A and B are shown apart, each in its own frame.
Chain A
Amino acid sequence: MKICVLVKEVPDAAVEKRIDPSTGRMDRGGEKNLNPYDTHAIEAAMQIKEGGTVPVEEIVAVTMGPDSAVRALHKAVSLGADRSVHLSDPAVAGSDVAATGYALAKTLERESPDLVLLGQQSDDGECYTIGAVVAEHLGMPSLTQVIKMDVEAEGGGGVGSGSLRCERQAEYGYDTVQIKLPAVISVGDAINEPRYPSLKAIMGAKKKPLDTVTAGDVQIDPAKVGGDNSAAQWVAAKAPPAKAAGMIIEDEDTGETVEKIVAWLDERKLI
């Protein structure tokens, strides 16, 4: 089985973020790190490999981003990926979630993975469920917020062959879904506890093969990507509505205070 893990570098959560006033996009200066959700995806890939139910020939980390994105790839490799692919091209800069999903799908096509894993969302709050976009372009089944995943071997008993049995957290409860491979699975952070890379792995990461590709290399139609081609266009940024000052009650007669609270809640249909 070949597993591709989509990873993204995101600004460190602790860094103060700003908007670039001219583009309305987040100013991506400052520290960047591998998206914490993606570490769960890499860990999931490693657990499948180490689990032994199916042989995993290789785990490939894939990312789209500027030059600095190689750090995310190094981190992914130090956590266990065998090699990485970096889609780097000015044409894709500024792509929104739909365009990014398309570009990644084209990059993945070249790899012909049996399973694509990624984190549920990115820490910068920009991309939710990009897995669904990628799956659509690849024509693969997709499931998000997966918190448990078991691989069923080809021809082995159980549910089917060449498939996954997944549990996912939906808003109304837990679903158990069987999905045939190849598939795109977005994992939630509850799925596992990512390992820490050993120093040896960290230092060896730069030696593992890293393939840099351009949009042309993977047949990306430039009209479908890039900030200027976004189908959803940012027009302005504004401050959120100022909250009206709150009311304060000093409790003297608790009975009375409670009546006031209940009335307040009732007004707002909270009871």
Chain B
Amino acid sequence: MSSHSGSSNGRVIPAAYPPPVDSQKEFVKRGLDGEDELIEVGVAIVGGGTAGLACANRLLQLLAEDPEMMERLGEVPVAVIEKAKTCGGHNLSGAVMRPEPLRELFGELSREDWRKEGFAFGEVTKESVYILPGAKTKLRIPPPPPQHNKGNEVVSVSALARYQQRVAEEAGAYILTETAATQLIVEDGRVVGVRSGDKGRGKDGEPLSNFEPGTDIKAQATVLAEGCWGHITGAAIREFDLAKDREPQVWELGVKEVWKVKRPLDRVIHTLAGWPLKISASYGQIGGSWMYPMKDEKTGDDLVSIGFIIDLDYADATTSAHDLLQEIKTHPLFRDVLEGGERVAWGAKALPAGGYWSMPKLSMPGAVLVGDAAGIMNLASLKGVHYAIKSGMLAAESIYAALKRGESSFENYEQVVEDSIIGKDMWEQRNTRQPFQKGLIRGGPLVNLMIATKGRFPGGRWALHRNDSKPMFIGKTKDSYPKPDGKYTFDKLSSVFISGNATRDDAPNHIRVRKHVPRELAETWRWMCPAGVYEIPEDGEGGDESGDVDVIVNYTNCVQCGAITAKGGRLTVPEGGDGPLYQIT
């Protein structure tokens, strides 16, 4: 595959510099601690995002009607383990959500109720899709079918999670916030729970004076809802070989801002490819942007959600989603809406983009996967919120049914997902990512063909290659990034600041990367990371010099987007409570 020197025609392949990590040894605990030390719960849900909480919400609805089953699940029937300070603190999405699954989950709520609760911001009535040929021009195109958004609702998953958390707590769930789940506990080939993270370790991992070790959480069923690049999910996939015969998973990175604007936007806008991306095969930049109107019922403010997404398969090390977002803001399409307004939020998150063939097996003995962690995502429209809710509900129903029947296997969940809208939609789009790995121009028409024929033509199964197997070179994308002025365009550090990130200075480093790597790889990380975590020391920043350089890792800036794991590093879970505190992303 890749040569030992990790380069291919003078380009550097990230996969040749694997981070110092042994997933199965470090992140899988074999056997539980003694009864006195551990905590026992009925169902443990790792991740308090849209999917995990939907699972909790649905489970508690079922248990409310079944006191005997509630009793059987013990003192703590449902526990949600969330590493942020509150559910929603680490959640981010566009998002224009299909309404049906949420209506299904909370039947008594109307869409007006959603907006009063503060997580929904209006129904989509108009939409436009553009390609931007250049910095000042735009070309309107008819929305491709999967992008029809009329009737959908603009939501904030961060705010939605907060709402779901309240509902879950009122229904009896224990929501353990500021708690990281660091290890999967496996006994006799079965997942029996997870272990929570230690607190009070110093920079080098040494226990400080207030060190508090983690605790084993024993559960009858475990739901992995960690979102994009789940830490334990990765270990589980290896341990139980859940990716066998699957295509590798690939990712996209999105950077988002929310703005308060002077005049309301009247429509949902998407741009596909085009400026400022370099779509040639050698640069391989695939992506697009969005701009959604948000009416905040609580404050009466007119807000706008904007963002830029880029497929992480690009080849130019200087590709930066954050800077591309700043660049696209200078286009009149955006400027006309945002000028005179004020940025009120910023954040970043990666999302799984491999589609059907990259989805791992969704169950293992003792546990199931839901949401982004399961790779569930509608590729053509990049929608995943409604699937997250749906998969969470289906997981709840499957687990409930299995436990009630005294069955130990949750494999039934897989079929249920396959038969649902999730399975149907994902099957239709199963090959819509792969052609893009050949570049937009060659791949584009094929993708359109597949979408138009609902996946029937060309059929079959197309292969994907891993994001970190792409050879990187130092190119020219950075040359057109705007200089941040601090009022309309922003630098990474001030953006991290408003994400609410206040990680303590002596926290241990949760990012695993090699510290001394070829310049091309170091530059890849430096530009890719939206939070400015990776820096190259300042001596001699010369043109196209090759050779190895040191990498400085400012891990306290990290907003845990997950992108590093796709391109040669490994994000592990920081101490519970660390990281951003998103509110309206």
Asked if the two chains touch in their complex, CB atoms less than 8 Å apart, one says: yes
Count, chain B residues at interface, CB 8 A? 24
Within 8 A of B (CB), among A186-241: 193-200, 202-203
Known contacts A15-B581, A30-B583; is A193 also within 8 Å of B209 by CB? yes
Within 8 A of A (CB), among B168-218: 174, 176, 179, 196, 199-200, 208-210, 212, 214-215, 217
A interface: dominant SS:
loop
B76 within 8 A of A: yes
B75 to chain A: closest residue by CB:
A203
A89 within 8 A of B: no
1/0 per residue, CB under 8 A from A, across B18-54: the answer is 0000000000000000000001000000000000000
In the complex, the answer to whether B500 meets A15 with C-beta atoms within 8 Å is yes
Known contacts A16-B344, A199-B179, A203-B76; is A33 also within 8 Å of B210 by CB? no
B85 within 8 A of A: yes
In the complex, the answer to whether A31 meets B86 with C-beta atoms within 8 Å is yes
B242 within 8 A of A: no
In the complex, the answer to whether B501 meets A14 with C-beta atoms within 8 Å is yes
**Partner among A33, A195, A196, A200 whose Cβ is within 8 Å of the Cβ of B85:** A33
For B176, B212, B214, the residue with the greatest tally of chain A CB atoms inside 10 Å of its CB is B212
Residues in A whose Cβ lies below 8 Å from that of B583: 15-16, 30-31
B502 to chain A: closest residue by CB:
A14
B498 within 8 A of A: yes
In the complex, the answer to whether B581 meets A199 with C-beta atoms within 8 Å is no
B214 to chain A: closest residue by CB:
A199
**Partner among A13, A14, A30, A193 whose Cβ is within 8 Å of the Cβ of B210:** A193
A12 within 8 A of B: yes
Residues in B whose Cβ lies below 8 Å from that of A202: 176
Within 8 A of B (CB), among A171-197: 193-197
Within 8 A of A (CB), among B203-252: 208-210, 212, 214-215, 217
Residues in B whose Cβ lies below 8 Å from that of A194: 210
Within 8 A of B (CB), among A1-42: 12-16, 30-31, 33
Alpha-carbon distance A180/B501, docked complex (angstroms): 43
In the complex, the answer to whether A199 meets B209 with C-beta atoms within 8 Å is no
Alpha-carbon distance A193/B209, docked complex (angstroms): 7
Q: In angstroms, how far is the closest chain A Cβ from the Cβ of B470?
A: 36
Q: In angstroms, how far is the closest chain B Cβ from the Cβ of A35?
A: 14
In the complex, the answer to whether A195 meets B210 with C-beta atoms within 8 Å is yes
In the complex, the answer to whether A12 meets B210 with C-beta atoms within 8 Å is no
Residues in A whose Cβ lies below 8 Å from that of B199: 196
In the complex, the answer to whether B500 meets A196 with C-beta atoms within 8 Å is no
In the complex, the answer to whether B210 meets A200 with C-beta atoms within 8 Å is no
Residues in B whose Cβ lies below 8 Å from that of A203: 39, 76, 174, 176
Within 8 A of A (CB), among B236-273: none
Alpha-carbon distance A13/B344, docked complex (angstroms): 16
Residues in A whose Cβ lies below 8 Å from that of B209: 193
Known contacts A30-B583, A203-B76; is A195 also within 8 Å of B212 by CB? yes
**Partner among B208, B212, B215, B502 whose Cβ is within 8 Å of the Cβ of A13:** B502
Residues in A whose Cβ lies below 8 Å from that of B176: 199, 202-203
Residues in A whose Cβ lies below 8 Å from that of B581: 12, 14-15, 31
Residues in B whose Cβ lies below 8 Å from that of A16: 344, 498, 500, 583
1/0 per residue, CB under 8 A from A, across B67-108: the answer is 000000000100000000110000000000000000000000
1/0 per residue, CB under 8 A from A, across B509-529: the answer is 000000000000000000000
In the complex, the answer to whether A198 meets B215 with C-beta atoms within 8 Å is yes
In the complex, the answer to whether A197 meets B212 with C-beta atoms within 8 Å is yes
Known contacts A12-B85, A33-B85, A199-B179; is A193 also within 8 Å of B208 by CB? yes
Residues in A whose Cβ lies below 8 Å from that of B174: 203
In the complex, the answer to whether A199 meets B501 with C-beta atoms within 8 Å is no
In the complex, the answer to whether B210 meets A199 with C-beta atoms within 8 Å is no
Known contacts A16-B344, A193-B208; is A199 also within 8 Å of B215 by CB? yes
1/0 per residue, CB under 8 A from A, across B497-508: the answer is 010111000000
Q: In angstroms, how far is the closest chain A Cβ from the Cβ of B259?
A: 13
Known contacts A16-B344, A193-B209; is A199 also within 8 Å of B196 by CB? yes
Within 8 A of B (CB), among A106-144: none
Alpha-carbon distance A16/B344, docked complex (angstroms): 9
In the complex, the answer to whether A200 meets B215 with C-beta atoms within 8 Å is yes
A194 to chain B: closest residue by CB:
B210
Alpha-carbon distance A202/B208, docked complex (angstroms): 21
Residues in A whose Cβ lies below 8 Å from that of B86: 31
Q: In angstroms, how far is the closest chain B Cβ from the Cβ of A95?
A: 25
Residues in B whose Cβ lies below 8 Å from that of A33: 85
For A13, A196, A198, A200, the residue with the greatest tally of chain B CB atoms inside 10 Å of its CB is A196
1/0 per residue, CB under 8 A from B, across A72-93: the answer is 0000000000000000000000
Residues in A whose Cβ lies below 8 Å from that of B208: 193
A207 to chain B: closest residue by CB:
B75
Residues in A whose Cβ lies below 8 Å from that of B210: 193-196
1/0 per residue, CB under 8 A from A, across B334-351: the answer is 000000000010000000
In the complex, the answer to whether A31 meets B85 with C-beta atoms within 8 Å is yes
Alpha-carbon distance A17/B397, docked complex (angstroms): 40
In the complex, the answer to whether B85 meets A199 with C-beta atoms within 8 Å is no
Q: In angstroms, how far is the closest chain B Cβ from the Cβ of A19?
A: 13
Alpha-carbon distance A15/B583, docked complex (angstroms): 8
Q: In angstroms, how far is the closest chain A Cβ from the Cβ of B7?
A: 42
Residues in B whose Cβ lies below 8 Å from that of A196: 199-200, 210, 212
Alpha-carbon distance A198/B179, docked complex (angstroms): 10
Residues in A whose Cβ lies below 8 Å from that of B500: 12, 14-16
Alpha-carbon distance A194/B500, docked complex (angstroms): 22
A27 to chain B: closest residue by CB:
B299
Q: In angstroms, how far is the closest chain A Cβ from the Cβ of B580?
A: 8
Residues in A whose Cβ lies below 8 Å from that of B217: 199
Q: In angstroms, how far is the closest chain B Cβ from the Cβ of A67?
A: 12
Q: In angstroms, how far is the closest chain A Cβ from the Cβ of B13?
A: 38
Residues in B whose Cβ lies below 8 Å from that of A198: 212, 215
Alpha-carbon distance A98/B93, docked complex (angstroms): 45
Residues in A whose Cβ lies below 8 Å from that of B39: 199-200, 203
For A31, A199, A200, the residue with the greatest tally of chain B CB atoms inside 10 Å of its CB is A199
Alpha-carbon distance A247/B502, docked complex (angstroms): 33
Q: In angstroms, how far is the closest chain B Cβ from the Cβ of A42?
A: 12
B211 to chain A: closest residue by CB:
A196
Alpha-carbon distance A230/B583, docked complex (angstroms): 33
B344 to chain A: closest residue by CB:
A16
Alpha-carbon distance A228/B39, docked complex (angstroms): 48
Residues in A whose Cβ lies below 8 Å from that of B200: 195-196
Alpha-carbon distance A147/B201, docked complex (angstroms): 23
B212 to chain A: closest residue by CB:
A196
A33 to chain B: closest residue by CB:
B85
Q: In angstroms, how far is the closest chain A Cβ from the Cβ of B228?
A: 22
Alpha-carbon distance A90/B212, docked complex (angstroms): 39
Q: In angstroms, how far is the closest chain B Cβ from the Cβ of A9?
A: 13
Q: In angstroms, how far is the closest chain B Cβ from the Cβ of A52?
A: 19
Residues in B whose Cβ lies below 8 Å from that of A12: 85, 500, 581
Q: In angstroms, how far is the closest chain B Cβ from the Cβ of A80?
A: 12
Residues in B whose Cβ lies below 8 Å from that of A199: 39, 176, 179, 196, 214-215, 217
1/0 per residue, CB under 8 A from B, across A226-262: the answer is 0000000000000000000000000000000000000
Kindly list the 5 A-B residue pairs having the minimum CB-CB distance in the complex, ordered from nearest. Answer: A14-B500, A196-B199, A196-B212, A199-B215, A14-B581
Task: Please name 12 further chain A to chain B contacts, defined as beta carbons within 8 Å, in addition to the given A31-B583, A196-B199, sorted by A numbering.
Answer: A12-B581, A16-B344, A31-B581, A33-B85, A194-B210, A195-B200, A195-B210, A195-B212, A197-B212, A199-B214, A200-B39, A203-B76
Q: Could you write out 19 A-B pairs with CB less than 8 Å apart? A: A14-B85, A14-B501, A14-B502, A15-B581, A30-B583, A31-B85, A31-B581, A193-B210, A194-B210, A195-B212, A196-B199, A198-B212, A199-B176, A199-B215, A199-B217, A200-B39, A202-B176, A203-B76, A203-B174
